[in-house]
Amino acid sequence: MVSRGCGDDGVVESCKEPKRVVNAVNKNLGDKPFSQACANNREPIYDVLAKEFAGQTSVLEIGSGTGQHAVHIGPRLPHVQWQTSDLAENIPGINRWINDERVVNVLRPLTINVLKDWPDTELLQYFNGIFSANTSHIMPWEAVEHFIGGLEKMNSGSRLALYGPFKYDGRFTSDSNERFDQWLKNQYPHQGIRDFESVDSLARNSGFNLVKDYAMPANNQLLVWEK
Ligand SMILES: C[S@@+](CC[C@H](N)C(=O)[O-])C[C@H]1O[C@@H](n2cnc3c(N)ncnc32)[C@H](O)[C@@H]1O
């Protein structure tokens, strides 16, 4: 059954554990982790970030996953230095994508678990942009609180961009998002599609105001805040 992964149309298993594709379709993949959802949504995300990160120079990505967003979007925003990060287990895969794409403005991943290594005030002072895709419904809510709460340490002029599915007034934006939410909860009870209002409230408490809420393909949103 084709279901939804990472909040996008695609196979569900790609959400939790990206497949290692061994030269199945594309010779260039080698043994890199691969997310079809990322391949589908990277260009629409780039289109928005080209506008919304036009004034940013140093972006920290939380939960880079396979690294496919970073190596696609980073070089297309040459005015930005794009810092990847994720939990320790995803670092080798991100490095493989960086090695193969030979990108110059995408930095090798930092190990960042927002429940443990966060907020790193010194690190955050260096960035004026934060990007994170498909993480808020995967992390426990406590981690989302800690992640966005830590952004209080950022300087004014900073921007936060979050991509993924969200609920509004407690309602899903589509039936497929509702099914995806149930699937997430069946996998791990701490997972689930978050309420936009709760996430916006965390952002506001950290000094960020919503700039724009973009409706994206496959019933996702790209939310952009500025401090
Ligand atoms: C569904 S994947 C999304 C990956 C990628 N951003 C994408 O859109 O394909 C969720 C990501 O969140 C990361 N993650 C989960 N808990 C985290 C935490 N506490 N701190 C940092 N990253 C975390 C996972 O390791 C994983 O890379």
Q: Where are the domains of the chain?
A: 37-226
The predicted pLDDT at position 31 comes to 84
The predicted pLDDT at position 24 comes to 40
Q: Are 62 and 112 in contact (CB under 8 A)?
A: yes
**Ligand 1 within 6 A of 33 CB?**
no
Measure the CA–CA gap between 54 and 71, rounded to whole angstroms: 18
Measure the CA–CA gap between 192 and 60, rounded to whole angstroms: 24
Q: Which residues of the chain have pLDDT under 50?
A: 1-5, 7, 9-14, 16-17, 20-25
Residue minimizing CA distance to atom 21 of ligand 1 = 113
Measure the CA–CA gap between 106 and 5, rounded to whole angstroms: 25
The predicted pLDDT at position 137 comes to 98
The rounded Å distance from CA 163 to ligand 1 centre is: 12
Architecture (CATH level 2) of domain 37-226: 3-Layer(aba) Sandwich (3.40)
The rounded Å distance from CA 20 to ligand 1 centre is: 17
Task: Calculate ∠ Cα 224-147-218, nearest 5°.
Answer: 45
**Ligand 1 within 6 A of 60 CB?**
no
Measure the CA–CA gap between 93 and 66, rounded to whole angstroms: 6
The rounded Å distance from CA 86 to ligand 1 centre is: 6
Cα end-to-end span (Å), the chain: 43
**Ligand 1 within 6 A of 161 CB?**
no
The predicted pLDDT at position 11 comes to 35
The predicted pLDDT at position 218 comes to 97
The predicted pLDDT at position 202 comes to 98
Residue minimizing CA distance to atom 22 of ligand 1 = 63
The predicted pLDDT at position 3 comes to 30
Q: Which of 190, 206, 226, 172 is nearest to 4 (CA)?
A: 172
Given ligand 1 and candidates 139, 151, 191, which is best to mutate, with the most ligand atoms within 8 Å of its CB? Answer: 139
Helix (H) or strand (E) holding 199: helix 196-205
The predicted pLDDT at position 14 comes to 36
The rounded Å distance from CA 17 to ligand 1 centre is: 10
